[in-house]
Homo-oligomer: A and B are copies of this chain.
Amino acid sequence: MDEKISNLQRAKVLIEALPYIQKYNGKIVVVKYGGNAMISDESRRAVMGDIVLLSLIGVKVVLVHGGGPEINELLGKIGKQPEFKDGLRVTDEETSEVVQMVLAGKINKSLVALIGTLGGRAIGLSGMDAGMLEARRLSDCLGYVGEIASVNPQAIFDVLDKGYIPVISTVAADSTGHCYNVNADTAASRLAGTLHAESLISMTDTKGILRDPNNPDTLIPVVNVSEVASLIREGVISGGMIPKAECCCEAIRRGVKRVFIIDGRIPHSILIETLTDSGVGTMFHG
């Protein structure tokens, strides 16, 4: 423990978290975790710790994870060149299998096991379990990249109801049972909407939306979804942040109260965002 913080200070910190705990108690919070934010073991452990804590104090956390780098790593090992078109991975049969294996086999179960060592109880699901996500082909030239045709959240509710933390890989089957890779941000947004989540927290490796991308002091803390279009036009939201921001808007439109893009590199950024009076990124609201 941090020796410089007295136990009285510790107690005060806990008591000051009370209104935030009350606010989220019994509510569903979807956390999207993936990409570079997920690389280091230390970060994973910190994020899973935050999730176990939230779960224990009565928040119904649903973890949706992605997996970029590890997919490329395995593709590399089997001698396959990743190929992207408009930022989306061209996914042939073999790549589709690799994605499924890395996401649902390696990352998902490792996160589940990590939660277990931290005293939490998690069950790993994919979009294929109990027909949670049905995919359909997004575009012929992308292969097995799917868009979400329908969402059935029953398995998530059932798993939450039994007291587990659902950890979800965003691979999904089409009506013939073939596996598709589904974008994790899109899936998290759709699920958060269907689950009527109190909030969606999207962990990235950026500080949030910066008015001047080179100046971290220009963070825009709060964005109304009505402003997003003009922020894109102005170039403030650009590149890979555009689809992320659109997912945030989509979640708000589907009924999520608040959506946060936060900096996953900051330790315990979920707890800071959720249980203290300060934010660590950009909040979208309707």
Q: Residues on A close to B: CB < 8 A?
A: 1-2, 5, 7-19, 21-22, 25, 46, 49-50, 52-53, 56-58, 74, 77-79, 97, 100-106, 108-110, 112-114, 116-119, 121-126, 128-131, 155, 158, 161-162, 164, 171, 173, 175-179, 266-269, 271-272, 275-278, 280
List the number of copies, as a whole number. Answer: 6
The interface centre, meaning the residue of A19, A109, A268, A277 with most chain B CB atoms within 10 A of its CB, is: A109
Q: How far is the CA of A76 from the CA of B247 in the complex (A)?
A: 39
Q: How far is the CA of A14 from the CA of B5 in the complex (A)?
A: 12
A15→B164 contact, CB < 8 A: no
Give, as a whole number of angstroms, the nearest-CB distance from A263 to chain B: 12
Question: 8 other contacts beyond A78-B78, A121-B131, with CB at 8 A cut-off?
Answer: A11-B271, A14-B14, A14-B275, A21-B53, A74-B101, A101-B101, A101-B102, A104-B124
Which residues does chain B contribute within 8 Å of A106, judged by CB atoms?
Answer: 97, 100-101, 105
A57: which of B21, B108, B114 is its contact (CB, 8 Å)? B21
A12: which of B2, B52, B110, B161 is its contact (CB, 8 Å)? B2
A266→B8 contact, CB < 8 A: yes
Which residues does chain B contribute within 8 Å of A176, judged by CB atoms?
Answer: 117
Which residues does chain B contribute within 8 Å of A74, judged by CB atoms?
Answer: 78, 101
B155→A8 contact, CB < 8 A: no
Give, as a whole number of angstroms, the nearest-CB distance from A191 to chain B: 16
B129→A109 contact, CB < 8 A: yes
Q: How far is the CA of A16 from the CA of B5 in the complex (A)?
A: 12
Which residues does chain B contribute within 8 Å of A102, judged by CB atoms?
Answer: 101, 105
Which residues does chain B contribute within 8 Å of A116, judged by CB atoms?
Answer: 128, 130-131, 173, 177
Which residues does chain B contribute within 8 Å of A112, judged by CB atoms?
Answer: 126, 128-130
Give, as a whole number of angstroms, the nearest-CB distance from A22 to chain B: 5
The interface centre, meaning the residue of A10, A108, A155, A161 with most chain B CB atoms within 10 A of its CB, is: A10
